[in-house]
């Protein structure tokens, strides 16, 4: 596997457009990761309210539910210019937050974050569609793995950097840093040379929002992957809600969550590097099944009150979850016609990622009434059942064909 990584990653990075896309993700992602932490701290400092601070994250995530609608925009115009505009819009909007200096103006934070989140949904859809034309199908798994590695690596660096900047210079400095990161990312997207045709007027008029969902549901290889991804993220939400109960059982202060998150992030970074070659080797359904199985075992073992086990399980969960996401989203890119790709990618993101918020809410309720060891054991069983279904899906000849057909016909 290590030899495979060393051969395939340079093939991705040698492609100019792939490097530019990854650089844009790195630059804008740094600003975003810094802001999402600082926004909550800022609102908490201004209002003293934990509930209002938590609403910052909700404002960012809420537009994900409208993914099928917002993603349709990426199928009506050229995606390169759209991505440039979508990065310049928050760059122009974010400086509005420098006017927030009292509790009475906190509503501006929520309004800007909501628009920020909506723009991000369209950005993800447009980027997924553009990348599918810039990177050969045989290398999409490696590219998406690298993208995951960049995103997870930023989560280890950017939030602490944002907190330091906030402590030294205040929220305005973080806001302006994020705005500058979007301007730089827009410049990087402007340098892309991905050939695109402008959708004809008749094509724009025929855009149907539900077509992305219909494509996912009717496609025999995509449907089980997206459903398994949604079930996995639902369980991940429940697992995340149980984190502080696990920390209590270990006898640590709540700040120990930072250690577990860092270890989980490190696991995701490694998984991102290995997922592409693994996807090529075993196929999307088996890779997703293996990822779910790893998280199932790790979730169940978190009930063991041991620091060493807790750290190992965090790393395993961090490694398992990206396998499911990379397998599902890469398959969507490979198996969807270009004219449908924006809507389909956005719909897939909604179906896979939105259940995480539901899982957090359900987990928050369950952890108050169910012993954490019992909850985690049950969660492991549910996750294991999902892994078994993916294994059954992978064993079907009609579905295992996805690996050979996609690799044999690179874009």
Structure tokens at 361: 């809410």
Check residue 98 and give its pLDDT: 93
Check residue 9 and give its pLDDT: 66
What pTM value is reported for the model?
Answer: 0.79
Q: How confident is the model at residue 310 (pLDDT cuts 50, 70, 90)?
A: very high
Q: Provide the percentage of residues in the chain whose pLDDT is more than 90.
A: 31
Check residue 255 and give its pLDDT: 65
Apex 124 CA angle, 139 and 228, nearest 5: 70
What is the SS3 string spanning 154-223?
Answer: HHHHHHHHHHHHHHHHCHHHHHHHHHHHHHHHHHHHHCCCCCCCCCCHHHHHCCCCCHHHHHHHHCCCHH
Structure tokens at 39: 């926004």
Residues 6+ apart with CB under 8 A from 190: 80, 84
Q: Average pLDDT for residues 230-250, to the nearest whole number?
A: 87
35-81 residue pLDDT tens: 887 888 888 888 888 678 878 877 888 888 888 888 888 888 888 99
Question: Cα separation of 329 and 19, whole Å?
Answer: 19
Q: Indicate the range of 84-88, 322-326, 362-366 predicted with least confidence.
A: 362-366
Give the Å distances, CA to CA, from 75 to 69, 260, 407.
Answer: 11, 40, 25
286-296 residue pLDDT tens: 899 999 999 99
Question: Cα separation of 217 and 223, whole Å?
Answer: 5
Check residue 11 and give its pLDDT: 76
Q: Greater confidence, 209 or 107? A: 107
Whose structure tokens read 């995530």?
A: 61
Check residue 205 and give its pLDDT: 43
Domains recognised in the chain with CATH numbers = 1-194+201-207 (1.20.1250.20), 210-411 (1.20.1250.20)
Check residue 69 and give its pLDDT: 86
Dihedral sign of CA atoms 262, 265, 266, 267 in order: positive
157-202 residue pLDDT tens: 888 888 889 889 999 999 999 999 999 999 999 998 887 766 655 5
Give the mean pLDDT of the chain. 84
Residues 6+ apart with CB under 8 A from 117: 59, 60, 61, 62, 63, 64
Check residue 389 and give its pLDDT: 77
Q: Is the pLDDT of residue 220 over 80?
A: yes
Question: Cα separation of 235 and 312, whole Å?
Answer: 19
Whose structure tokens read 């690596």?
A: 153
Nearest Cα residue to 119 out of 144, 163, 88, 141: 88
Q: How confident is the model at residue 327 (pLDDT cuts 50, 70, 90)?
A: very high
Check residue 207 and give its pLDDT: 56
């Amino acid at each position: 596997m290590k030899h495979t990584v060393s051969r395939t990653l340079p093939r991705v990075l040698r492609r100019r457009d792939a490097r530019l896309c990854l650089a844009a993700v790195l630059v804008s992602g740094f600003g975003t990761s810094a802001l999402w932490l600082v926004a909550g701290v800022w609102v908490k400092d201004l209002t003293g309210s934990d509930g209002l601070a938590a609403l910052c994250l909700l404002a960012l995530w809420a537009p994900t539910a409208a993914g099928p609608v917002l993603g349709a925009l990426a199928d009506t115009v050229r995606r390169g210019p759209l991505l440039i505009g979508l990065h310049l819009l928050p760059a122009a909007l974010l400086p509005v937050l420098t006017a927030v200096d009292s509790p009475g103006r906190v509503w501006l934070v929520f309004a800007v974050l909501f628009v920020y989140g909506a723009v991000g949904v369209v950005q993800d859809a447009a980027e997924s569609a553009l990348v599918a034309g810039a990177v050969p199908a045989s290398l999409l798994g490696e590219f998406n793995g690298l993208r995951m590695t960049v995103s997870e690596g930023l989560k280890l660096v950017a939030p602490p950097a944002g907190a330091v900047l906030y402590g030294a210079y205040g929220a305005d400095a973080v806001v302006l840093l994020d705005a500058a990161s979007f301007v730089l990312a827009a410049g990087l997207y402007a340098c892309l040379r991905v050939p695109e045709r402008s959708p004809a007027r008749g094509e724009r008029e025929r855009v149907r929002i539900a077509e992305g969902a219909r494509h996912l549901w009717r496609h025999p290889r995509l449907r089980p992957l997206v459903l398994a991804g949604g079930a996995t993220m639902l369980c991940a939400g429940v697992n995340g809600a149980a984190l502080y109960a696990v920390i209590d059982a270990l006898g640590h202060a709540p700040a120990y969550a930072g250690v577990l998150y860092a270890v989980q992030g490190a696991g995701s970074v490694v998984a991102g590097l290995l997922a592409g070659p693994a996807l090529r080797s075993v196929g999307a359904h088996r890779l997703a099944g293996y990822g779910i199985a790893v998280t199932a075992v790790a979730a169940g073992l978190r009930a063991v009150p041991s620091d060493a086990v807790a750290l190992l399980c965090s790393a395993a969960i961090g490694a398992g979850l990206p396998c499911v996401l990379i397998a599902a989203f890469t398959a969507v890119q490979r198996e969807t016609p270009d004219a449908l790709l924006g809507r389909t990618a956005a719909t897939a993101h909604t179906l896979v990622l939105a259940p995480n918020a539901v899982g957090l809410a359900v987990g928050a309720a369950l952890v108050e009434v169910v012993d954490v060891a019992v909850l985690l054991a049950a969660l492991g069983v549910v996750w294991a059942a999902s892994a078994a279904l993916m294994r059954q899906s992978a064993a079907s000849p009609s579905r295992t064909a996805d690996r050979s057909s996609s690799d044999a016909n690179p874009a």
